[in-house]
Each structure stands twice: as C-alpha cells, then as structure tokens.
C-alpha cells in the first residue's frame, strides 16, 4: 500500500510539473504572439477580399480552405523550417525576413498601382461570358494561401525570436500554439466579417424588435463600405509591415539611413503624444514599403512572375 501511495505521489508531482510547463508554454506563446501583431492585422485585413464576388454559400467554404492552407503553412512547413534555421543557420533568418517583407511591399504596391492605373477588364468580362467559378475559386484560394505563407512566415519567425531559449521541444510547442491560436483568431474573425451582411439581413427580416430590425438594416448598408475599408487597410498594412521588416533588416546589416529618417519623423511627432509618434513611424515604414514595392514591380511582373509560371509555382 505504501508503495502504491508513493507511486501516486510521483504521478501527482509529474502532473504538476507538466501542468506548470503547459502554463509556461501558453504564457510564452501569448507573449510571442503579441510581437507578431502587425502581421496578424495584415492577415486579418487582407483575407476578406479573397471572397468578394462569390455566391454567399461559397464564402465560408473558401475561408475554411484558406484557413486549412494557413495551418499547413504554419505547422507542416514553417515550424520545422524555423526551428532548423534557428538551430543551424540563425544568420539566414534576417535576410529571409527581408525577402518576405519585400514581397509584402510588392503585393501592396501592386494593389496601389491597380487602383491608380486600372487594368483592362479580362476578356470574358468584356465579352459577357460567364466566368469559370470553380477555376476562379481555386485561383483565389491558391493566391490567398501563397500570401498567407509570407505572412505566416513573418508571424512564426517574429514569434520564435520572442521566445526564450529553453530547448527545441519548448519552442516547438509554443510555436505550434501560436500558429493554431493566430489562425483561429484571424480566420474566425474573417468568417464573421464575410457573413456579417447575411447576419444583418436575417436580423432585418426576422428580428422581433424594431431596434433589432433597424440594426440589421444598418449592418447590411454598412458592409460594402466596411469591405472597401478593409481592402484599404489590408493594402496599407502590407506596406507598413513589409516596409518595417525591410527597414529593420537593413539596419541590422549596417545600413541605417532609412531607419534614422523614420525615427526622426517619429520624434517630430512625439510632442503630440505616443499615438502620433507611432502613426508617424508607421507612415514612414509604409512610405518606404510603397517606394520599394513600386521599384520591385517591373522585376516581379517581368522576371519573377514569368519564371514562377514556367516552374509551375
């Protein structure tokens, strides 16, 4: 009996240690996840635009496909790669982050260029032919997952850099928790955003109270403007996040001109308060990202895109 009691005591002690470890992993994952807030905002703002133009019954399935691709990006591809780079080639992480940031700048600048200089309508739209919705959906999902890969890489790398060095198992558990939690947060929010008009319509038609019906009508009327705002926010977030990553990376490589100029801009705004200083820095990072992205447009469209198409990427 005494042996059984001793064994139970040992099991209880192990359980306490395991629970404490899980709490520690969760706590560190939360701290690491907050460091990647900029990329998370970018992800949440960009994704709803991928379901625009589809039938309402296809919106949630498209979001689910993108979310599944995001989980695969984070846990299957990026988590092992991040841990391997951290263990064997830590010096490669900043340049890779800069490449990802440059891609975000390119994507954001391309959206700005399309808004300023609209492209001709596709041939099927010009002739009135019905679009191939299945192919269009596959293309949209593939494009969203590719963009998510870059954003997820930024999220996972930033989160890894914020974690204490307590061994590969601890880092893997914390990164997995960050990846799952952020994906659930982002795509759960996206699902609510894209179905908000349907929710508003149901409230307007079936609400028992006049206030409920009025709120539903208000939601329906507001959603087009909200989606346009999200499109603008998503583009601005791409340029801000991408620009800030490249500026920081250039500083680490010894080129501080952009970093100093943006810091000086933020200091000029400091008398107006911390929020103004943050906004000035974000605007500086975004302006740098836009300039870099516009410079990369010819390279991306005339060299990288045709090469990727020939390689089947």
| C-alpha gyration radius of the chain | 23
Tell me the backbone φ, ψ of residue 254, rounded to 5 degrees: 105, 0
Contact 45, 190 (CB under 8 A): no
Contact 106, 293 (CB under 8 A): yes
In a domain, 246, yes or no: yes
Mean pLDDT of 118-128: 54
- Residue 181's contacts (CB-CB under 8 Å, 6 or more residues apart) are 29, 33
In a domain, 60, yes or no: yes
**Confidence category of residue 33, pLDDT binned at 50, 70, 90:** very low
pLDDT digits (tens, 9 = 90+) for 191-247: 888 888 888 888 888 878 888 888 888 988 888 888 788 778 878 888 888 898 899
Half-sphere exposure of 225 (CA within 13 A, CB side): 5
| Domain total of the chain | 1
In a domain, 115, yes or no: yes
Q: Is the dihedral of CA 187, 189, 144, 97 positive or negative?
A: negative
Tally Cβ neighbours within 10 Å of residue 298: 9
Residue 19 has pLDDT above 60, yes or no: no
Task: Provide the domain limits for residue 53.
Answer: 26-119+130-311
Residue 44 has pLDDT above 90, yes or no: no
- Residue 287's contacts (CB-CB under 8 Å, 6 or more residues apart) are 239, 243
* pTM over 0.85, yes/no: no
In a domain, 16, yes or no: no
Query: DSSP letter at 53?
Result: T
Token pair in block for residue 82: 């991040």
Contact 196, 223 (CB under 8 A): yes
Contact 82, 156 (CB under 8 A): yes
pLDDT score for 204: 86
pLDDT digits (tens, 9 = 90+) for 283-308: 999 999 999 999 999 988 888 777 76
Specify the 3-state DSSP secondary structure of 162.
helix
- Residue 223's contacts (CB-CB under 8 Å, 6 or more residues apart) are 196, 197, 200
In a domain, 19, yes or no: no
In a domain, 2, yes or no: no
């Amino acid at each position: 009996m005494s042996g059984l009691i001793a064994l139970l005591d040992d099991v209880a002690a192990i359980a306490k240690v395991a629970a404490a470890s899980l709490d520690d992993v969760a706590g560190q994952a939360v701290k690491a996840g907050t460091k990647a807030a900029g990329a998370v905002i970018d992800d949440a703002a960009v994704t709803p635009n991928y379901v625009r133009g589809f039938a309402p019954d296809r919106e949630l399935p498209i979001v689910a496909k993108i979310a599944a691709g995001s989980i695969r990006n984070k846990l299957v591809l990026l988590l092992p790669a991040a841990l391997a780079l951290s263990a064997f080639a830590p010096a490669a992480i900043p340049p890779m982050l800069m490449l990802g940031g440059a891609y975000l700048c390119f994507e954001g600048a391309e959206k700005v260029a399309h808004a300023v200089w609209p492209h001709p309508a596709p041939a099927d739209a010009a002739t009135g032919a019905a679009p191939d919705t299945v192919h269009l959906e596959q293309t949209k999902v593939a494009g969203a997952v590719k963009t998510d890969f870059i954003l997820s890489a930024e999220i996972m790398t930033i989160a890894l850099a914020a974690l204490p060095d307590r061994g590969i198992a601890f880092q893997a558990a914390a990164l997995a928790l960050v990846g799952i939690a952020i994906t659930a947060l982002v795509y759960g929010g996206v699902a609510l955003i894209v179905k908000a008009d349907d929710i508003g319509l149901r409230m307007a038609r079936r609400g028992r109270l006049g206030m409920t019906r009025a709120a539903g009508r208000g939601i329906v009327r507001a959603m087009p403007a909200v989606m346009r705002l999200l499109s603008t926010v998503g583009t601005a977030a791409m340029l801000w996040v991408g620009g800030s990553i490249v500026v920081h990376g250039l500083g680490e490589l010894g080129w501080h001109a952009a970093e100093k100029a943006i810091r000086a801009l933020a200091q000029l705004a400091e008398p107006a308060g911390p929020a103004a200083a943050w906004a000035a820095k974000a605007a500086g990072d975004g302006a740098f990202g836009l300039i870099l992205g516009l410079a990369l447009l010819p390279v991306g469209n005339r060299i990288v895109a045709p090469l990727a198409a020939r390689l089947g990427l």
